[in-house]
Amino acid sequence: MTSSRRSLLGAAALAAVAAVVPRGMQAAGGQKILRLQTRQIEVGGKAATRYGVAQPSGAVGLSLDEGDTFDVRVENTLKVTSGLHWHGLNPPWRQDGVPYISGPPIAAGQSAIYKFPALPVGTRWMHSHFGLQEQDLLAAPLIVREAEAIRSGRQEVVVLLEDFSFVPHLSNQ
């Protein structure tokens, strides 16, 4: 058996990830957790406090595979009411995440559960429809990966571009 440089690097990367990812988070399936939280970012050497969407592991956003169930608990750790809209997915209308239209917002310190088929496949995003929270960077990638793309083994790179200003919008915090 011969080993290529690529297969050795891939095996090393997989071993490194397995060493740092908690055992319970390595298994596919089960409910995912997304936390709405504040975070510190740095732009041009200057710090700013903004919102963010992350998993308990620190991973930003959410990636699912074709055929998965979108089974997500959103925890609002912000000091203000918030929520997430699943842009581009086809959830039941009461789980679409638009406050006061397709469901209630999530109060500070509370959580909400969303469960529906993760359809359609593709690269999407999630974001708040509450006040100016999206402008305060409460948005993240939301990807449902095609089975063929997964089998291809090609590297995936996700870039989410957001507008930024040092003008504070977190006035409701």
pLDDT tens, residue by residue, 148-171: 999 999 888 889 998 888 876 654
Domains in the chain: ranges and CATH: 29-165 (2.60.40.420)
pLDDT tens, residue by residue, 86-132: 999 999 999 999 888 998 999 999 999 999 999 999 999 999 999 88
The pLDDT assigned to 156 comes to 87
**CA-to-CA distance for 144 and 89, rounded, in angstroms?**
9
Place of tokens 């638009």: 98
Average pLDDT value for the chain: 83
The pTM of the full predicted model, rounded to 2 decimals, is 0.78
DSSP for 114-137, written as a single string: EEEE--S-EEEEEE--STTTTTTT
pLDDT tens, residue by residue, 6-60: 433 343 333 333 333 333 333 356 999 999 999 999 999 999 999 999 999 999 9
DSSP for 138-153, written as a single string: -EEEEEEE-HHHHHH-
The pLDDT assigned to 133 comes to 93
**In 3-state terms, what secondary structure has residue 67?**
coil
Where residue 87 falls (left for φ over 0; alpha for ψ -120 to 50; beta otherwise) is beta
Picking from 132, 131, 142, 141, the residue whose alpha carbon sits closest to that of residue 165 is: 132
